[in-house]
């Protein structure tokens, strides 16, 4: 089962996929952005000098689309200030800096006694759970569909279709019961009668693990390994046959969608009252020992590289997320956030091998693979000429899911994804949304 178009990328997962998840070392300090999610940034609930317990709520705000943040470690707040980070709202955000006391004193928490749709939503909100696949959309909002858009299907995303990344794969092998229970809670909160988990067929052991854990409680479907199979639109199309137009949400076609790590986090929030202060991520590429690590939010990338034996060779680029959609970071002090699925180090050999960008030769390769049936070369051309309105109005700029496939196949190495992202942000500044 699959979707139309798309690309086949080298998987490059073998370096880390067989490595069981290890707990990363407790960081000496953490930098916790107040906006790790789509929607309103949280406001600080602590001040410089305050002592905090691990799991204590340190930021929140009254807004429909937002998520609180919690202290990943116990210690003392040493700063509340703007720092460089990679979050859905940009590359800088207000952060709370905590110097760890290494005592690990944990704020008290309990699971939800009476598990109802509303208590699930409340527990998920209080735990600060957001989409861990990278989008960072607050999960409690997805679990609260409007009455006029009933949900009949919960789609669980176990694709992890980007090259290199293996964290979700390991979670499906090592924490399958939490994923299944979280999926059942998602269905209970939304009223979905069908639960279907999609996994790419390059993870046969994960398919077996999840089928064994799920029994007849949910469907586990093997999907063709093709990029971007894990993108929301593609996955829903592959598993339900339903397409939803630009500007619409999965709820408009009766679907709620959550990533496998997110469903595991929902399980821990509801059953144990555990806030989201850590996640499993892959650290791989040009490092001495690629690993899957359970990492406290706010940990600096530098510390993770050290725990993987340092760089192997000369690093040219360190990317947060996968190589197609991730973001190259300016320095290694950048912290891990809730949506950080991995750190991929590209060596100077790989990056220097890429030639300079050349003019478009109208080969139409980008058109042939675009999963949303756009004309990427035209979007790139219009963005390059600052014709953002025309890109939005005539060429469906906002239908782009930013999968990066067009840039990947372009023989002229035109940075189409960067151009499209620029065009979107400029068009949005001008008041366009579709
Ligand atoms: S135009 Fe957008 S959706 Fe189409 S291939 Fe490029 S990045 Fe992906
Ligand atoms: S793939 Fe590159 S060179 Fe070919 S049409 Fe698209 S933008 Fe032009």
Query: Is the bond preceding residue 228 a cis peptide, omega within 30 degrees?
Result: yes
Token pair, residue 150, equals: 């009933």
**What does the pLDDT read at residue 111?**
81
In the reported structure, the alpha carbon of residue 245 is separated from the centroid of ligand 1 by a whole-number distance in angstroms of 15
Kindly state if the Cβ of 374 falls inside 6 Å of ligand 1: yes
Kindly state if the Cβ of 385 falls inside 6 Å of ligand 2: no
Kindly state if the Cβ of 364 falls inside 6 Å of ligand 2: yes
CA distances from 274 to 108, 154, 244, 278 (A): 9, 23, 34, 10
Domains of the chain: 24-100 (2.40.50.100), 112-272 (3.40.50.11540), 278-352 (3.10.20.600), 365-429 (no CATH)
Q: Could you give the CA distance from residue 359 to residue 338 in angstroms, rounded to a whole number?
A: 38
Model ipTM over 0.90: yes
Q: Could you give the CA distance from residue 7 to residue 368 in angstroms, rounded to a whole number?
A: 10
Per-residue burial over 63-78, b = 16 or more CB atoms within 10 Å of its CB, e = otherwise: eeebbbbbbbbbbbbe
For the chain, which residues score pLDDT lower than 70?
1, 352-355, 432-434
Q: How does strand 194-200 pair with strand 219-223?
A: parallel
Q: Could you give the CA distance from residue 164 to residue 12 in angstroms, rounded to a whole number?
A: 5
**What does the pLDDT read at residue 250?**
92
Q: Whose CA is nearest to atom 7 of ligand 2?
A: 377
Kindly state if the Cβ of 407 falls inside 6 Å of ligand 2: no
CB 287 within 8 A of CB 310: yes
In the reported structure, the alpha carbon of residue 369 is separated from the centroid of ligand 2 by a whole-number distance in angstroms of 11
**What does the pLDDT read at residue 355?**
64
Q: How does strand 327-328 pair with strand 315-320?
A: antiparallel
Kindly state if the Cβ of 177 falls inside 6 Å of ligand 1: no
pLDDT in tens, 151-200: 999 999 999 999 999 999 999 999 999 999 999 999 999 999 999 999 99
CB 108 within 8 A of CB 135: no
pLDDT in tens, 79-95: 999 999 988 877 889 99
Residue with tokens 């699925």: 341
Strand order in the sheet with 153-157: 219-223, 194-200, 153-157, 255-259
Kindly state if the Cβ of 366 falls inside 6 Å of ligand 2: yes
**What does the pLDDT read at residue 433?**
62
Residue with tokens 């894990």: 230
- Of 401, 407, 410, the residue with max ligand 1 atoms within 8 A of its CB, to mutate for a pocket test, comes to 401
Per-residue burial over 88-111, b = 16 or more CB atoms within 10 Å of its CB, e = otherwise: bbeeebbbbbbebeeeeeeeebee
């Amino acid at each position: 089962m699959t979707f139309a178009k798309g690309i086949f990328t080298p998987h490059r997962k073998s370096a880390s996929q067989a490595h069981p998840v290890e707990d990363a070392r407790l960081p000496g300090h953490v930098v916790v952005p107040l906006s790790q999610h789509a929607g309103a940034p949280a406001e600080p609930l602590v001040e410089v000098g305050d002592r905090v317990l691990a799991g204590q709520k340190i930021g929140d705000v009254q807004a429909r689309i937002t998520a609180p943040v919690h202290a990943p470690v116990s210690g003392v707040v040493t700063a509340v200030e703007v720092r460089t980070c990679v979050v859905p709202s940009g590359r800088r955000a207000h952060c709370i800096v905590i110097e760890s006391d290494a005592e690990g004193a944990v704020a008290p928490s309990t699971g939800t006694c009476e598990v109802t749709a509303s208590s699930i939503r409340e527990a998920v909100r209080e735990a600060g759970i957001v989409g861990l696949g990278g989008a960072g959309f607050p999960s409690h909002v997805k679990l609260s569909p409007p009455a006029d858009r009933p949900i009949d299907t919960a789609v669980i995303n176990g694709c992890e279709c980007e090259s290199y990344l293996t964290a979700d794969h390991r979670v499906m092998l090592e924490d399958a019961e939490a994923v299944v229970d979280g999926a059942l809670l998602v269905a209970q909160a939304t009223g979905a009668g069908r639960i279907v988990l999609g996994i790419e067929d390059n993870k046969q052991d994960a398919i077996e693990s999840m089928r064994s854990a799920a029994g007849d409680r949910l469907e586990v479907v093997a999907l063709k390994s093709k990029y971007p199979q894990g993108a929301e639109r593609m996955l829903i199309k592959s598993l339900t046959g339903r397409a939803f137009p630009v500007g619409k949400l999965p709820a408009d076609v009766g679907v709620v969608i959550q990533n496998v790590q997110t469903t595991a986090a929902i399980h821990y929030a509801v059953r144990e009252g555990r806030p989201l202060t850590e996640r499993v991520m892959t650290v791989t590429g040009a490092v001495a020992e690629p690993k899957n690590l359970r990492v406290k939010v706010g940990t600096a990338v530098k510390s993770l590289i050290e725990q993987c034996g340092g760089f192997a060779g000369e690093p040219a680029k360190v990317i947060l997320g996968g190589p197609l959609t991730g973001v190259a970071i300016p320095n290694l002090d950048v912290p891990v956030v809730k949506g950080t699925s991995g750190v991929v180090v590209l060596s100077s050999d790989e990056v220097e091998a890429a030639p300079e960008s050349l003019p478009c030769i109208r080969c139409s390769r980008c058109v042939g693979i675009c999963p949303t049936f756009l004309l990427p070369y035209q979007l790139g051309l219009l963005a390059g000429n600052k014709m953002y309105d025309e890109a939005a109005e005539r060429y469906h700029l906002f239908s782009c899911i930013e999968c990066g496939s067009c840039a990947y196949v372009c023989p002229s190495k035109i940075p189409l994804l960067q151009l499209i992202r620029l065009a979107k942000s400029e068009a949005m500044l001008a008041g366009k949304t579709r």
